[in-house]
Amino acid sequence: MAIPVIMPRQGQSVESCIITSWNKKVGDTVEKGEILFSYETDKSSFDEAAPESGKLLAIFHEEGDDVPCLENVCVIGNDGEDAAQFAPAGEAEAAPAEAAPAEAKAEVAPEAAAPVTAQQISGAISPRARALADKTGADLLKAAPTGPNGRIIERDVQSLVDRGLTVSGAASAEYKTAVEGSGINGKVMLGDLNAPAAAQEVPAIAPAVSGPEYEDVKMPNIRKIIAKQMCASLSGMAQLTLNTSFDATKIMDLRKSLKAGGEALGLPNITINDIILFAVSRVILNHKGVNAHCLEDTIRYFNTVNLGVAVDTPKGLMVPTLFHAEKLSLSELSKSAKGIIKAAQAGSISPDLLKGGTFTISNLGAMGIESFTPIINPPQTAILGVDCVTRRLKEVDGEDVVYPAMGLSLTFDHRVLDGADAARFLKDLVVALENFDLLLTK
């Protein structure tokens, strides 16, 4: 029976061998053990001996051929036997055996793409990204970090630059929290930075702070609430502030006389703040736009005055509510206000008293603030800031007269009312305060 002779594989890594010489030709008789042909690998030479005796029926590869290992080289058998059946199938060279690289087939799982969420922002930034930001003035506060562990990397800064989100050199030192830029392509300019004080509490990726010393403190819950509300307030409303002042001579005189004799009449210690609360409660119902809530696409005008009183407490800003202020006498109002302020400062205030306000008053006058932009407590539509007293001149009967002027800063939501509406409220309030004695008699 005819048998094929294969090209042996001399070692696992050998893929093919070259036939260097044939000792026999087709038709020769071969004895078992006789050398049929010699061949070599890239390392060594070998002889292939006939596995059986017989006649060399066919030779499939000539001297010099590079024969893949295990392929048939020749056939030994008896005359008349079919050798063709052993012919190697086709001469097409096999593709190089190096298997196609087993790619880590990226079955794109969208959820695995792990979009960077706010929680992942670590504040870390690569040295390279930092250098690029310094060079381009990229607004890092607006960067969406895509590096490992929320690190801002070069491409994130490049993306800012590409979108034109940059900060001017002058503004960068003061720039602590993201602001819409007013410059070309939205560049943040120095003038864009008059953000309310509270906004500085917003967690942000701060630009390089000089000096390595700092302390990381977890935000207490109240701060988080303040932060959230303030940001929501600023980003959700069209706020602007009007400033004015009034002659505080009358209310200061009143305060003086109350101080001197109030106790004897069983009156509480009525403060300037109480007086202002009282004035507002009497004037505001004529200006329904500032005593309202803005709810999605409706405006809720109130028929009662629930005054929010901003209180500086050890925990942070709290705003307890003085309900139905329009119904209280000055002394009642004063007592109630004292009660809620005390409770807020002690931290014992009922949560029910921390909501429901229709308008808020924030008094920084005691700290010497001459003017500021209070932030509206949503969904309210306005907030009154009370400033300190300064000495001013006014002309009375052709003569310059010095008088105590107290500032008022009203921030209002332009979506709900217009500047003139707000101004009218302020004007009425000024009249009421300047003529407080008359108001009391009303």
User: Residue numbers of the site for another protein (CB under 8 A)?
Assistant: 12-13, 15-18, 41-44, 66, 93, 96, 101-104, 106-110, 112-114, 126-129, 131, 146-149, 151, 153-155
Residue 419 dihedral angles phi and psi, to the nearest 5°: -60, -40
Query: CB-based burial of residue 213 (10 Å sphere; 0-12 exposed, 13-18 middle, 19+ buried)?
Result: exposed
Residue closer to another protein, measured from CB, 7 or 341: 7
CB of 180 to another protein, least distance (A): 28
> How many angstroms separate the first and last alpha carbons of the chain?
132
Confirm if 162 and 148 have CB atoms less than 8 A apart.
no
Residues in CB range of 72: below 8 A, 6 or more apart: 4, 5, 6, 7, 60, 86, 87, 88
CA distance 224 to 203: 9
- Choosing from 312, 414, 421, 428, the catalytic residue is 414
Residue 26 structure tokens: 């087709």
CA distance 161 to 171: 17
- Choosing from 42, 352, 418, 437, the catalytic residue is 418
CB of 65 to another protein, least distance (A): 10
Confirm if 54 and 29 have CB atoms less than 8 A apart.
yes
CB of 124 to another protein, least distance (A): 10
Residue 126 structure tokens: 């690569």
Confirm if 200 and 227 have CB atoms less than 8 A apart.
no
CB of 45 to another protein, least distance (A): 9
CA distance 3 to 25: 16
Q: Where would I find the H helices in 7-143?
A: 127-136
Residue closer to another protein, measured from CB, 132 or 199: 132
CB of 127 to another protein, least distance (A): 5
Residue closer to another protein, measured from CB, 89 or 106: 106
Q: Where are the beta strands (DSSP E) in 258-398?
A: 292-295, 298-301, 307-309, 311-313, 316-318, 321-322, 359-363, 382-396
CB of 335 to another protein, least distance (A): 60
CB of 12 to another protein, least distance (A): 7
Question: In 3-state terms, what secondary structure has residue 418?
Answer: coil
DSSP structural state of residue 376: P
Q: Is 287 a catalytic residue?
A: no
Residue closer to another protein, measured from CB, 104 or 118: 104
Residue closer to another protein, measured from CB, 143 or 317: 143
Residue closer to another protein, measured from CB, 31 or 162: 162
> Read out DSSP for 222-289?
HHHHHHHHHHHHHHHS-EEEEEEEEE-HHHHHHHHHHHHHTTTTT-----HHHHHHHHHHHHGGG-GG
Question: In 3-state terms, what secondary structure has residue 321?
Answer: strand
CA distance 35 to 32: 9
CB of 111 to another protein, least distance (A): 10
Q: Is 414 a catalytic residue?
A: yes
Q: At which residue do the structure tokens 């008293």 appear?
A: 353
Residue closer to another protein, measured from CB, 135 or 342: 135
Catalytic residue set? 414, 418
